[in-house]
Chains A and B, each alone.
Chain A
Amino acid sequence: MKDLFFDAVVIGGGAAGMAAALELDAAGLSCAVIEREEQLGGILTQCIHNGFGLIEFNEELSGPEFAERIEEKLQGTNIRSFTSTTVMELDAGSENKVLFCYSALWGVLRLSCNAIVLAMGCRERNRGNIRIPGDRPAGVYTAGLAQRLVNIEGYVPGKDIVIIGSGDIGLIMARRMSWVGCKVHAVVEILPYPSGLTRNIVQCLNDFDIPLYLSHLTTNIIGRDRVEGVEITPLENGALMSDKAFTIPCDTILLSVGLVPENELSRMAGVELNPMTNGPLVDSMLMTNVPGIFACGNVLHVHDLVDYVVEESRRAGKYAAQWLKGRRPVREVRVKAGANVRYLAPVRVDVQADNKLYMRTLIVKNDAVLEVRVNNRVVKSIRKNHIQPSEMIQLQLSPKDLESVLSAPDPVVEVSIN
């Protein structure tokens, strides 16, 4: 068994993991990236469509191009990357943190380190998670699996397609399947508004005349051996209109019904999770409740743009490096999700530092106001032209914004949207 020591180990070699590792390396620390797939880049490698990098690189790139841009930066650094390698056990209890990794190339590796950055990303919710009843034939796939099959393996999983859920991957796949000659009959969304980005609705559905059924529930899957159809029922005021149910004949159902951060290893290490995000609860340095374990990217909360993932992960890498060198938050205070706010990450801010938070709203609204209160007194107020749950909101809180915390007894910072 190979035994190795690093200052920090980054779990996951997608955009998040690579970005975090680059910062650790830049701070002069030894660092390893563990990636279970054969190459770095994570899910970006199968996202051959454009739309990545508008913020990060100020140009429009495909997923593989975006991944390559970051991967190139790894050249010439001291970062050790282990691909085809899966972290199987994580012990944060002893003096050093210890990871056992299984690898087709290296056999079993035992890595010891002082800090870990969790960057494992997320997985797709599946049919079972949303409990669609009916037959269980071949032809029901998650959109991401279909994307892998088409874009990397070169197989077309079906010809007549219905997409359940209007998440971004589903919308992208509606366009992709149309391009390879398939007929996409419909995209079905349970909510009264789409779950994906507006630009994807326009570019992937409207441009291809693919109907979007909002407020419709998938109530049955039909087909013994292979999918033959899917039954859709409209919802009116939350009630199922069973008499208005209809069946769309198809041979394939693609599911794009949400993403869940993959925190199995985090749990193994004793990391506390936020039930609203299924990701770790982190402090102002993006550190979990387990000292020395940091989290960033989609394992922390599901982002809508990889550009945001990279920005956040760079901070996580920096913070991990600073933590290893002894920096600790000066004075932290909890941030509460107030009215119409789904979640905030991180959940603590440092009163004496510049804080950046990502958040999601629960509502769709034009001319909304985002308010930050300290013990019920508004300290910051921001106008937003348009907000919706599918688009993340960024919030900066400076020491000046949080000045009043210093004099307040039991201070609570609350963020709300009205």
Chain B
Amino acid sequence: MQNASGPFDVCIIGAGVSGANIARRLSAYDLNLALVDSEPDVSFGVSKANSGIVHGGFHHNKKHLKARLELQGAMMFDRLRQELDFPFKRCGIVVAAMHEDEMRAIDQLYMQGVDNGVIGIEMCSRERILELEPKLHPDTLGGLWVPGGGIVEPYRFVFSLVENAVQNGVQLLTGFAVSRAARQGELWQVEAADGRTLQARYVVNAAGLFADKVSAMFGAEDYTIKARKGEYYLLDRMTKAKPDRVVFPVPTSVSKGMLVIPTVEGTVLIGPTAELVDDKRNLATTKDQLDKILSSARTMIPAVSEYDVITSFAGLRPTLDEDFYIDMSAKVPDFVQVAGIQSPGLTASPAIGEYVKDLLKKAGLKLLEKASYDPFVVKRPHVKDLSPYEVDELAARDPAYANMVCRCEKVSEAEIVAAVKAGHTTLDGIKYFTRAQMGRCQGGFCTYKIIKIIMRETGLSWEAITKNSNASQILKDVL
């Protein structure tokens, strides 16, 4: 367990995609920064389970802050990818209209998109939309085409942001569940459930689902974050239903609907559903909702088959009002609220980093650019993306690159070791970082190998091997 030094200029609570972007953006300045998260690894909350879409900027009216941040954030991804080496691709988005009423809704989306300044947005007739996405149902009437939309691996994005932030001096404290806060002169005193404390001049509340609780601990605004659950199916990369574009249905008033998403890494995601739940730790999938996903996806792409399902999962969206709530607290000093970051939060997140930086500047935080700031992370090789000749060269230096651990997603031992060295020591942390256990066998063959590598590299005993939380122990005894 790492203790905090300090006092810090800024403490960011929550190492999800918002907190990570804010931390990384602020790390360009001469500041003492802390990024804390209650979970054992970063990106283990809202940011780990969502659609992984860089949205097209046509779903929301620009009178909303979230629409403006979405448009701005979406434009920042190309540069971020160059700097941070995470999987991202602008594959484009189609919205498919299946009947006349839906074509009228497409018309409105198009006009909103044009008004928002979306580059390259097009209305499409049947022929054009089927040419753009041949997997669509042959009865598709027409739709919308947004070439700038894209797909991203959300956890890999967060991992890279945090890695770069830490490289630039941010102190990361995981397992730090904020339990109390008090004002001490000009500083906030922040206390974790395990007794660790830190002091910071400014605090940013990016605690996702629990932003309301954190706000209350600081005596700031009183609001309630509601969790809206979204369930998904993940399909094998060999599915015949893999589209070239992100396929959206025509949205309803409450949700963007259930999508068919070709993930950057080659699998296919279908979902999400949208259902309010009371329990913010309820990540259970349900038969009713999962059945809905299959039937909805099939109306757009008939080739979707339940035989291609390799897993199901659910994510929670932290919903507050219609819009994001990003502002200085009006109730307590030096406290920034970053709450209600539901869709399009991932897309908007780089712009949220900018926005919060500006809020803090206005509140008096001195931003002095650091000469030593390096926006690049060291690129790591992934065996699955390399030719045999390239792997041969790598293996000459480190034979572990030619030792395959995960056969389904083609992950080598060297990549697992790199994940452990980067601080990912739970099975899920390694899964999100490397993709090992994420393929069609879902860890059936490689789990025991990964357990052995974690134990070898960290010296942890079998009792300390977990899935994703301290209580999620994998093994119960030794023979």
Which residues of chain A have a CB within 8 Å of any CB of chain B? Answer: 1, 36, 84, 86, 88-89, 100, 102-108, 110, 123-124, 126-129, 131, 133-139, 141-142, 144-145, 148-150, 152-159, 180, 219-220, 224-226, 251-252, 264, 267
Let me know if B441 is at the binding interface, CB within 8 A: yes
- A142 with B444, Cβ < 8 A, contacts A155-B475, A224-B281 known: yes
Query: Does B479 lie within 8 Å of A145, measured CB to CB?
Result: no
Complex: A98 Cα to B135 Cα, angstroms: 33
12 pairs, A vs B, C-beta closer than 8 Å: A1-B392, A104-B413, A106-B402, A108-B402, A128-B310, A133-B286, A133-B290, A138-B467, A138-B474, A141-B447, A155-B462, A158-B476
Give the number of chain B interface residues (Cβ < 8 Å).
57
- A133 with B312, Cβ < 8 A, contacts A1-B388, A100-B388 known: yes
* Nearest CB on A from B476, distance (A): 5
Let me know if B255 is at the binding interface, CB within 8 A: no
Complex: A106 Cα to B401 Cα, angstroms: 11
Q: Which of A127, A133, A134, A156 contacts B478, CB < 8 Å?
A: A156
Q: Which of A104, A135, A267 contacts B399, CB < 8 Å?
A: A104
Complex: A135 Cα to B314 Cα, angstroms: 9
Q: Which residues of B contact A158 (CB under 8 A)?
A: 476
Query: Does A219 lie within 8 Å of B287, measured CB to CB?
Result: yes
Query: Does B284 lie within 8 Å of A135, measured CB to CB?
Result: yes
Let me know if B166 is at the binding interface, CB within 8 A: no
Query: Does A128 lie within 8 Å of B309, measured CB to CB?
Result: yes
Complex: A154 Cα to B451 Cα, angstroms: 13
* Nearest CB on A from B90, distance (A): 28
Main secondary structure of the interface of B (DSSP, over half): mixed
Tell me the number of A-to-B contacts counted with CB atoms below 8 Å: 144
Which residues of B, 399-443, contact A by the 8 Å Cβ criterion?
399-400, 402-404, 407, 410, 412-413, 427, 440-443
Query: Does A108 lie within 8 Å of B395, measured CB to CB?
Result: yes
Q: Which of A84, A104, A105, A180 contacts B479, CB < 8 Å?
A: A180
Q: Which residues of A contact B312 (CB under 8 A)?
A: 128, 131, 133
- A226 with B284, Cβ < 8 A, contacts A88-B410, A104-B402 known: no
* Nearest CB on A from B385, distance (A): 12
Query: Does A103 lie within 8 Å of B402, measured CB to CB?
Result: yes
Q: Which residues of B contact A124 (CB under 8 A)?
A: 441, 444
Contacts A1-B388, A154-B479 supplied; 5 other A-B pairs, CB < 8 Å: A104-B403, A108-B391, A155-B475, A225-B469, A251-B476
Query: Does A128 lie within 8 Å of B402, measured CB to CB?
Result: no
Q: Which residues of A contact B441 (CB under 8 A)?
A: 123-124, 126
Query: Does A107 lie within 8 Å of B399, measured CB to CB?
Result: yes
Q: Which residues of A contact B388 (CB under 8 A)?
A: 1, 88-89, 100, 102, 108, 110
Query: Does B476 lie within 8 Å of A159, measured CB to CB?
Result: yes
Query: Does B311 lie within 8 Å of A128, measured CB to CB?
Result: yes
1/0 contact string of B62-98 vs chain A (CB within 8 Å): 0000000000000000000000000000000000000
- A86 with B404, Cβ < 8 A, contacts A133-B312, A155-B478, A157-B475 known: yes
* Nearest CB on B from A348, distance (A): 26
Let me know if B285 is at the binding interface, CB within 8 A: yes
Q: Which residues of A contact B473 (CB under 8 A)?
A: 138, 225-226
